[in-house]
Structure 1
Amino acid sequence: MHLYVVPTPVGNLEDITLRALRILQQVDLILAEDTRTSGFLLKHYQIQKPLRAYHQHNEHAIVKQIVEELKKGTTMALLSDAGTPGISDPGFLLIREAIAADIPVECLPGPTAFVPALVCSGLPMQRFCFEGFLPVKKGRTHLLQELSRETRTLVLYESPHRLLRTLQDLMHHLGENRKCCVSREISKKFEEHLRGTLREVFTQIQQKEIRGEYVLIIEGSPH
């Protein structure tokens, strides 16, 4: 009876820890956000364990069943597609319910995309505000207005098809001259960090092919 939250590489498969590999070899069942993605990782490391899909579209329906299996003694590992489960990925609901049921929950240290992006940004990292993905519609404008007054360095995630819109919204609410760094392909062959003002980075990105997941690091308000 144990739930392990296991971070997986955000890019280079070598970024997984030895401890994570050991846990994945020992558990009875692996819960995966995408069984194909996790299956590729497990095959690479020659780990053969039962896989079950656990993602945002089914977590509410199956979380009680999973908790019951854990209570009966099953040991499980929870994986997201990349990075640490629960950080802008499914995981919180299961972790909360497992804790409420007195099931031991252990999160292994490991990869998460925003840490290398923050470190490579050149912006202050002693204090920062992680917001993950901005709301697509409801509450978006209100949140951006609040963030415009945030003095800590801001950390956002964004998908490729919404990146330009988000940069435009940030320029509108935070100002075009706010310093930023936009990172993509973290830990992969074509890792890239674009630095400058929001306007300068927006102009650079307009001239590029927009692919992959992005991390946006934005200077906090000076006021």
Structure 2
Amino acid sequence: MAMSNAPAVTATASLLSALSLDGNKGPADSRQANGSALELLVSELVRTLTLATQDIKRNSEQLAPGLCSEENVEVAKVSGVLPRRSSGTNDSEGNSPAAVSGWQEVPEDNELMEQVYVKLELVGFRVGRRLAERFAPPNRRLVDTLDIVKFVCKDIWMILFNRQVDNLKTNHRGIYVLQDNKFKWFLRMSGNNGGAAAARRAQPYIWLPCGVIRGILNSFGVNAVVIAETLGLPQCTFQIKVISDD
């Protein structure tokens, strides 16, 4: 039986809503929450979904070897949002993934991690829609896609990470690239000299923000594919590709 994401969505959305710009710009009577609570929640969410997905797959294979639910993976394939994965298991200095301490172990099973990706991205998508409903500018309607992306880069990033995106690039043909040189959820992560092992361990933590971005765009009527990658901690890059209705 598949695990529902509803509790994770509710808890994450409630906490994000309570942040209210970390109290810096919110109304005087708004609820506030420590940003560290969000980091702990995301870390636990990644761990729980990974372990739960492992259990589901293990039980499925025991009932019918080689048979595993493909529903979520197929959704990702059709949408074109399958994650990019590191091809190696050791970093540039020859350190094994175990050398990167303090993180959730990332299984080498790519099929399993695709399913974890779909679940995390879906949680982020639903949270993103809630964030858009609460924090959309009340004094103007966002119609232009570039304005919506700027809203993500400035307002939403400030809500989530207490800072704005470092750089935004676009080809003005539906491709937008957001670069965060000090991605907050990576700042406390470290490995021996970083490398491929660190990047692989860090990757699940950017799947939820991918969903958040896609959910916000969707709430304004923009369908898009959002992928992310890190080439070196704490840097992170998000690429948005708008899907044309034609």
Q: TM-score, normalised by structure 2?
A: 0.24
Which protein has the larger Cα radius of gyration, Structure 1 or Structure 2? Answer: 1
**Structure ranking higher in helix proportion:** 2
Q: TM-score, normalised by structure 1?
A: 0.25
**Structure ranking higher in strand proportion:** 1
